[in-house]
Chains A and B, each alone.
Chain A
Amino acid sequence: MGELKLMKGNEAIAEAAIRAGVDAYFGYPITPQSEVIEYLMVEKPYETTGMVVLQAESEIAAINMVYGAAASGKKAMTSSSSPGISLKQEGISYMAGAELPCLIANVVRGGPGLGTIQPSQADYFQATKGGGHGDYHMIVLAPASVQEMADFVSKGFDLAFKYRTPVMILSDGLIGQMMEKVILSEHTPRWTDEEIIKLSPWATTGKPASRERNIITSLDLDPYRQEEHNIHLQKKYKEIREKEVEYEEIMCEDAEYLFVAYGSSSRIAQKAIKLGREKGIKAGLLRPITLYPFPSEAIRRLSQQVKGILSLEMSAGQMIEDIRLSVDCEMKVEHFGRMGGVIHSPAEALQALEEKIIGG
């Protein structure tokens, strides 16, 4: 049984990283996620587990430090918030191309541009569709609680190493900043050098005479070989779509209307459902836990049962495109969400369901 603590979401990510046996965290301060590196600097895991913690000169440098460590088989991670994640896109694209495992936490704030420091879910497109250049995807996990902020660190690394791919925790300023109870897992020791060489024989750990040199690159100037590499990546993403979809259904058994919402919005949707049921409106919630891969099958199945779907996101409506694709536009799917750092209330969400779906 783990340890029970009251923590901010950002602190939970940091503590979970130490406990998950992460080798290195490279970061750069940005609101609302600076508590991740602040917590690590206070805890000094380099004196206990040996985990490296380094404040880089920029988000660009931080993601490239992750690249170097990951390419050498280490469990390396970074975190940032929206404008900083934009800067990391180059590095993420290179890591997807070079097939490097790593964890990136995005504690999303309102945009575009410098935007605001308040919570938002407007980075959904960037996170799930690639974000950087080229044909690639990350696995995207969407925590809805401080507990999941902690749990998704080791889960994220497991997936990252299973598929040799960057994994993103797509959170927001609300979950990053709010405090909740969290049960922290036991400490997992960091991998030994021997374990790394065995687990990741592709990694650059120094070439012994017994093997060919290991090369980590995203470059292949031969277009036919580069196409082969792209086909290989697409096969990997297909396998991820087939095997790694995760979602939660809440009060869907008798639902006539469906909210689809992730992260903070899923918490708001649950309250809206409660308010609705007090008025006799039978609504349920499908909460995607993985945003990539997206739970299209589950949504399609539920669309046979309900009369309409409301996508609740703190954005102008981004996930709604994936919902509409899931139901082949054969059902009424509408969006509601506040933007620019404003958090919608449960009453607003319920009102939107009544106006756009039930009455619409």
Chain B
Amino acid sequence: MKDEISEIVNVENLVYKKTPLMTDNILSYCPGCGHGTAHRITMEVLEELGIGEKTIGVAPVGCSVLAYEFMNIDMQQAAHGRAPAVATGIKRTWPHKIVFTYQGDGDLAAIGTAETIHACNRGENFVIIFVNNGIYGMTGGQMAPTTLPGMKSSTSPYGRDVHIMGNPLKMTELIAELPGTRFVTRQAVHTPGNVRKAKRAIKKAFENQMNFKEGINFVEIVSNCNSGWKMTPVHSNEWMVENMFPFFPLGDIKVDGELVNK
């Protein structure tokens, strides 16, 4: 048995290994959640670009508040919504370092709206990874700025009535209009194909930061929240494809500072 295992882990048989930029800590995310994949591909990109030692990440408040437990790089944890301001403070004073924020939709598109829009509009040179699952997951499934019309949550138990609760906010389309953004894209991580596309987008975002002096590189990842949505992981992904993607369509919105014509 031992020989068999050692044969399997022979170097020539290895097709995949965990990036050393992920720690061995057990993820705090619900089984089936997209955060773990989004963490991993972000860290794989840093490893592949060889920039892990010069990268400083900023964790938000929300489900990924503990991102620093899993990302094996120097990290700061920001107050709710303030990550783009914190990242501005780092990047402005350490311009040769690589800086990114990792934020959820409540953090980025509600309480942090001002910080997000103004960091984007100033053309700060860092990466924003925006995981949008249409709900406040950490606090137990309340309505988010991205909750779809009619979608149920603990604070919209009969479904989001846009006449009372307002409309969901398409932050990614909004910031794409600003002159300070360089690369704006919306991706997903629910299938292997989408994971590869999302990773390519994240890589482009970090490469842009390395190659240019200014311009926000913004990668939205539409994700599921099976526990908050009260669905099985598989069902939540199907529901996401059927309901989230029509409202939050995948694809590049702005490339090299130019809006993509659709």
Contact = CB atoms under 8 A, between A and B. Distances in A.
Interface in A21-36: 23-24, 26
Contacts of B76: 67-68, 71-72, 204, 215-217
Interface string A66-86: 111111101010000000000
A217 B72 CA distance: 15
Nearest to B92: A52
B97 interface: yes
A216 B75 contact: yes
A94 B79 contact: yes
B215 interface: no
A91 interface: yes
Contacts of B115: 57, 60-61, 64
Contacts of B77: 98, 215-219
Nearest to A193: B94
Contact of B78 (A26, A52, A67, A209): A67
Interface in A211-263: 213-219
A360 interface: no
A336 B87 CA distance: 46
A357 interface: no
Interface string B67-83: 01001111111110010
Interface string A190-214: 0000000000000011111100011
A215 B92 contact: no
A90 interface: yes
B89 A213 contact: no
Nearest to A95: B79
Most buried by A among B52, B59, B71, B85: B85
Secondary structure dominating the interface of A: mixed
A56 B85 CA distance: 8
A49 interface: no
The range of chain A's interface size is: 35 or more
A206 B53 contact: yes
Contacts of B59: 217
A213 B74 contact: yes
Contact of A54 (B55, B79, B86, B88): B88
B94 A205 contact: yes
The range of chain B's interface size is: 20 to 34
Contact of B53 (A54, A204, A208): A208
A13 B68 CA distance: 36
A64 B56 contact: no
B29 to A, nearest CB: 15
B74 A64 contact: no
B10 interface: no
Nearest to B77: A217
A63 to B, nearest CB: 8
A319 interface: no
Contacts of B66: 219
A318 interface: no
25 contacts: A24-B92, A54-B88, A54-B92, A57-B114, A57-B118, A61-B118, A64-B78, A64-B86, A67-B79, A67-B86, A71-B90, A72-B76, A72-B97, A90-B79, A204-B75, A204-B76, A205-B94, A206-B74, A207-B72, A213-B72, A214-B74, A215-B76, A217-B68, A217-B75, A217-B77
In the complex, the 6 A-B pairs of residues with the closest C-beta atoms, listed nearest first: A68-B89, A65-B89, A64-B85, A217-B77, A68-B86, A204-B74
Given A215-B75, A215-B76, A219-B65, 19 more contacts: A60-B114, A64-B79, A64-B82, A65-B85, A67-B85, A67-B89, A68-B78, A68-B90, A69-B92, A72-B76, A72-B89, A204-B75, A205-B56, A206-B73, A206-B74, A213-B73, A215-B68, A216-B75, A217-B76
